[in-house]
Amino acid sequence: MAESSFRPEVRRVLPAVIGMRFAINVGMRMTYTFLPAFARGAGLSVESMSTALSARELTALSAPLTGKASDRLGPLTVMSYAGIVAAVGLLVATLGAGGLIVGMLIFGFGRTAHQVAMGSWIGNVVAYERRGRATGLIELTWGGAALIGLPLAGLLIDGVAWWAPFGLLGVLAMVSALRVRAQEPRRAQRTHHEARKPHMTKTAVAALATNGAMTAAAQFLFLGHGLWLEDTYGLDTAEIGLAIIAVGAVEVVATTGSSRMTDRLGKRRSMLGGAVLMTGALMVLAAYSTPPLWLGLLILVVAFLGFEYGIVSAIPLVSELDPGARAEMVGRAISISTVVRAVITLLASAIYVSQGFAMLMAVASVAGLLAILLAAFVMVEPA
């Protein structure tokens, strides 16, 4: 969907929404990719840093409350305040070990609120049959985070200090959030709506379970790939950032493909296709965890491509499970995924340290197979 096809009031807000989403996505992804570097720089162990990230994930249990607030106050209002909170968290994270831990928690609350409100906002302003294209446009920032943000973060860590990426992203998130707030119509800032609990139908439960299983499989890879690249190939921080450029390029392709194909193929089929591609790559890594670097990066790229395509396709589907309680349904989906990620963040580090990367990918493959079975035989497209 070209930006010009949005209504004028949407076009005015969209650049700031994309900027805020980009800063939050880079802030989220870089803590996984550069986990060893941040831990060393702040004086934390890898296990302590993993625990902090797990605690950050648990902040997304606030998603249903955020969804209720978004349904009542309006998604743009909540999105703008969420960006400010995320920016504060990123800036606090520059203040040493304690600041990093506290900042990650603050950032987690802001990221959660932003994600819920953004999903609701897209659902409100774009029809379901075109929503995959609109979601794909905004979610290009996820691949863009790897293509642009992570290499830049790696260079800043090596050339300036471990905390430099947090400071830069905090400023970008703050400016974007204030821009969203300034562009929101004043009548929307004063509007309050009645909110109700979402209906948890069989369709809704199956969709949320599929989304959670896909997230589980990917989380093992997110947490382990930076350690794997460093331990297996001896890459330093900047080299890991540059290596992830390939991942970012493919994720941009996947998101672009999702924006064009999801509406045509259907959201459920697209989720299934993404899960199959991701799980196949995870199984290859489980069987062959020390390939040549070029092949390892290629397999990594395929795994991220599948996840990106599948999860971007899930966003518009979840937002249509109950249009009358759209934001709170999105919030429930995020809460489920959050519990999954928090548990896996703790498990993944223990598995990697004690059993190695191959076992980590084997466990991830089991979660991926569950997502495939749910998408193929249980989940249905919303009417």
Nearest CA among 222, 104, 118 for reference residue 169: 104
Lowest mean pLDDT among 72-76, 186-190, 199-203: 186-190
Contact 34, 244 (CB under 8 A): no
The whole-number average pLDDT for the span 355-359 is 92
Residue 370 banded pLDDT, cuts 50, 70, 90: very high
Residue 4 has pLDDT above 50, yes or no: no
Token pair 């209906």 is at which residue?
199
Contacts of 105 (CB under 8 A, 6+ apart): 55, 56, 59, 89
Residue 325 has pLDDT above 80, yes or no: no
pLDDT at 2: 45
The whole-number average pLDDT for the span 19-40 is 90
Task: Write down all domains in the chain, each with its CATH number in brackets.
Answer: 3-377 (1.20.1250.20)
Average pLDDT, the chain: 83
Residue 275 has pLDDT above 70, yes or no: yes
CA angle (109, 110, 114) in 5-degree steps:
120
Residue 358 has pLDDT above 90, yes or no: yes
pLDDT at 196: 60
Contact 145, 22 (CB under 8 A): yes
pLDDT tens digits along 93-144: 999 899 999 999 999 999 999 988 888 888 787 777 666 777 777 777 877 8
pTM of the model: 0.72
pLDDT at 126: 72
